[in-house]
Amino acid sequence: MGRHRKGAGDVNGLAGRTAVVTGGAQGIGAAVAERLCAEGCRVLVYDKSAEHGRAAVDAWRARGHEARLAVGDVTDGAAVAAAFAGLPDGWPRPTLLVNLAAGFVFKGLEATPEEWHAALDPTLVGLSLVVREFTAGLPERAAGAAIVNMASISAHIAQSGYLTYNTSKAAVLGFTRCAAEELAPRGIRVNSVSPGTVWNAGNERYHREVLGLDRAAAEAAPEHGGKFLLGRFADPAEVAAPIAFLLSSEASFITGADLPVDGGYLAV
């Protein structure tokens, strides 16, 4: 088994388990996969990007972790099934799932049907296919199994021009609550997290190339980093940590909940 954080497995019940992370090749997803590797999990990354996925998985394996990549689209039910069926021999069945794959479409009422599908299909339809496949592989009673879905602060607020994105993330909240109720009798917990702005490669590129701001300048701007109570953006690892908590036995009485990881944004 891969190396893990000292004492982590004794405390939170993650070591030795198999986790599936969709959208795990980059950004928050990669941070989640890396954190779970560090906790001693075997991690299957399911992502559309073969290039980024292979680079990330190869790096984790070089450090002694047990990680694999399955390349595919979450909206393709056959590909999702193949990913779960193709786990390495000797790996336990997955009992941990983190859903980060999503459609990033930022449009208002002018959005076309095609743009709505691009926003909703990966974020909601794909989410449902992955959760269905994951739960189908679990026993009728699966105490300790846990799912964490990726919502957003945008799921909780109104933003002009963000109708497609905010609606898709609000749907994740509804899906999480309903799935939590449906799966509770089987002992499967379902929660979500709502991050604020995370300083990942995409946001760094946007701030530098479109706005002409480096991180320090962006965080100092009242309309950017300044809108968070903590006065800055999150690092991907700061979102991965509460996700690991929600998956762990330390969160054993938490289900149907959404955890803001937003630097206090939704508090005011």
> Of the candidates 140, 176, 139, 183, which has an alpha carbon nearest to the alpha carbon of residue 155?
176
Task: Check residue 202 and give its pLDDT.
Answer: 87
- 46, 162, 165, 265: the catalytic one is 165
- Domains present along the chain, CATH in parentheses: 8-198+235-254 (3.40.50.720), 199-233 (no CATH)
Dump pLDDT digits (tens) for 252-262: 999 999 999 99
The 10s digit of each residue's pLDDT in 32-55 is 999 999 999 999 999 999 999 999
Task: Provide the mean pLDDT of the chain.
Answer: 95
242-260 CB burial, b ≥16 within 10 A, e <16: bbbbbbbeebeeebbebbb
In this prediction, residue 130 carries a pLDDT of: 98
* Residues of the chain falling short of pLDDT 70: 1-11
Instruction: Report whether 226 contacts 154 (CB < 8 A).
Output: no
Rounded Cα distance, 197 and 235, in Å: 9
Q: Respond yes or no: is residue 162 known to be catalytic.
A: no
pLDDT for 11 equals: 64
